[in-house]
Amino acid sequence: MMKLFDLTGRRALITGGTHGLGMAMAKGLGQAGATLLINGHSPEKMKGALKEYHDLNIKAEGHLFDVTDEKATQKAIDTIEANGPIDILINNAGIIKRTPILEMEVADFRQVIDVDLVGPFIVSRAVGKHMVSRKAGKIINICSMMSELGRNTVTAYAAAKGGLKMLTKNMATEWAKYNIQVNGIGPGYFATEQTAPIRVNGHPFNDFIVGRTPAGRWGDPADLAGTAIFLSSAASDFINGQIIYVDGGILATIGKPANEH
């Protein structure tokens, strides 16, 4: 049964894989045997990330390109493919701008859409051409709970992630006949460097998230690894167009009264 999840010999491209949740998922794939093709845009971050992967005895190489630049992305993908197939693609690169609608500049709204939605389209199209010709491939789009819910100040992000959910379904619809599985992962609230300042007892948002999550805690980035491995492996060969929410149960419940323990 373990062979179902074995990624030995597979090559996985992870966009935004130099830090955070992207790195956590990449580590999982690497420890399952995959060779990592790490995308980023910062040479300094790339250097540190590759050292971290190599220290874990994970095969990894870096590729610096902007996922919103169609020509640069196509060139990078063709270069990678010339040295071996991209068997797995995780579209993880993304940004967020927390601004109320009435205060948000159109340019900022477009930038979020460009990175979080157009970027996955550009990369998937470039990689998908090769996958279609081989009649094999796994694509994982990193969605969000904001693919389902709204929240103050994250309008552009929610619009992009909602669109990414539907892009996932449409890619699956068109490419399933080529033995390509396209699915998504929707992370809940995770303990990262970015959330560290608000993950302290007594902070209103920390207390809200812990109280709102049935599991009663923030997610650990390592909690994403199993789902990423599953959707990258033969174990998910008949799963297509699905979004798996790794959220400790948030989307399963309306919540609980403030005085309930």
Catalytic center residues? 157
Structural tokens at position 19: 């830090």
In whole angstroms, what is the distance from residue 25 CA to residue 33 CA? 13
HSE (CB half, 13 Å, CA atoms) of 98? 2
Residue type, 63: H
